């Protein structure tokens, strides 16, 4: 006789912590409860500051679409990468960081041992099917003692995590809906990237992956 087990899906899975490397802590499902609320804040932000494909200094259009919230936003164009207080599309200040996002980022940093993290920039990445982010370092922030906190939603991604040299061997890690990662200490300058997003559908985001990275500029 077949046995159909019933799972209670009303209670989301618990959070648990994985150490990826020294200073890199994955908090699985840490943003799961707040996912819908955070994604609706992302929609609200992008209604006023739309996602756009920025141009790298080398002249390539990024496959990832980006917008920002918070006092500072990360931008790139032919003249380089930088943080700007103004959205270059509208000429206006970015939308302020939604408190729910700020609070969760601060709490995640604190769980990983960073107790004075006060993010003032949030880069919002939207990956459509096939979009990717090549191996790079995040070094446009003036104080590298502050960690970066990332939150992933929607379609899963294969994340590549390497060392301090581009040629160092990389490990692959899946980042899925609700996962939060804190990148600090020895991992702060590690090379990392996202392999092309595979075709799929997620109930929370459709055919997209959304990633938020929280940074402290001032
Ligand atoms: C490791 N974003 O926006 S999040 C980026 O999924 C970026 O959209 C990817 O890399 C994304 O710069 C990866 C994970 C991440 C973010 C920042 C890091 C990993 C990091 C900074 C240092 C080391
Ligand atoms: Fe990065």
Question: Strand 121-128 and strand 208-215: pairing?
Answer: antiparallel
Helix and strand numbers (H, E) in the chain are 2, 13
Evaluate: CB of 138 within 6 angstroms of ligand 1: yes
Q: Which residues pair with 170 in a beta bridge?
A: none
Q: Whose CA is nearest to atom 15 of ligand 1?
A: 150
Domains of the chain, first to last: 16-215 (2.60.120.590)
* CA separation for the pair 156, 141 (Å, rounded): 27
Place of tokens 């446009």: 140
Helix (H, G, I), strand (E, B) or coil at 210: strand
pTM: 0.95
Residue 160 token pair: 């590549």
Listed in sequence order, the residues at least 6 apart from 180 whose beta carbon sits closer than 8 Å to its beta carbon are: 26, 27, 30, 31, 104, 108, 149, 150, 151, 152
Place of tokens 């989301």: 12
Evaluate: CB of 68 within 6 angstroms of ligand 1: no
Question: Strand 121-128 and strand 133-136: pairing?
Answer: unpaired
Evaluate: CB of 123 within 6 angstroms of ligand 1: yes
Residue 98: name the closest of 74, 76, 119, 117 by CA.
Answer: 119
> What does the pLDDT read at residue 13?
74
Question: How much distance in Å is there from the Cα of 211 to the middle of ligand 1?
Answer: 9
> Which atom of ligand 1 sits closest to the CA of residue 187?
23
Question: How much distance in Å is there from the Cα of 2 to the middle of ligand 2?
Answer: 48
Evaluate: CB of 148 within 6 angstroms of ligand 1: yes
Evaluate: CB of 190 within 6 angstroms of ligand 1: yes
The per-residue pLDDT string of the chain (218 residues; one tens digit each, 9 = 90 and over) reads 455 444 455 556 789 999 999 999 999 999 999 999 999 999 999 999 999 999 999 999 999 999 999 999 999 999 999 999 999 999 999 999 999 999 999 999 999 999 999 999 999 999 999 999 999 999 999 999 999 999 999 999 999 999 999 999 999 999 999 999 999 999 999 999 999 999 999 999 999 999 999 999 99
> What does the pLDDT read at residue 12?
60
User: What would you report as the CA-atom Rg of the chain, rounded to the nearest whole angstrom?
Assistant: 17
Residue 111 token pair: 């769980």
Question: How much distance in Å is there from the Cα of 193 to the middle of ligand 1?
Answer: 7
């Amino acid at each position: 006789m077949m046995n159909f087990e019933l799972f209670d899906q009303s209670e989301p899975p618990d959070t648990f912590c994985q150490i990826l490397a020294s200073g890199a802590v994955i908090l699985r499902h840490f943003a799961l409860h707040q996912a819908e609320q955070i994604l609706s804040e992302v929609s609200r932000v992008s209604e006023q500051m739309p996602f756009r494909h920025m141009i790298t200094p080398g002249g390539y259009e990024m496959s990832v679409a980006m917008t920002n919230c918070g006092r500072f936003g990360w931008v790139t164009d032919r003249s380089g990468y930088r943080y700007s207080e103004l959205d270059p599309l509208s000429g206006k200040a970015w939308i302020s960081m939604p408190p729910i996002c700020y609070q969760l980022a601060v709490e995640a940093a604190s769980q990983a041992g960073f107790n004075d993290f006060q993010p003032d920039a949030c880069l919002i990445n939207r990956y459509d099917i096939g979009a990717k982010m090549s191996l790079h370092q995040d070094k446009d922030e003036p104080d590298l003692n502050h960690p970066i906190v990332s939150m992933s939603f929607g379609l899963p991604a294969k994340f590549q995590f390497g060392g301090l040299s581009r040629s160092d061997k990389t490990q692959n890690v899946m980042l899925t809906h609700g996962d939060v990662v804190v990148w600090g200490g020895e991992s702060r300058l590690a090379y990392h990237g996202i392999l092309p997003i595979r075709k799929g559908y997620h109930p929370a985001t459709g055919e997209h992956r959304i990633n938020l990275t929280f940074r402290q500029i001032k």
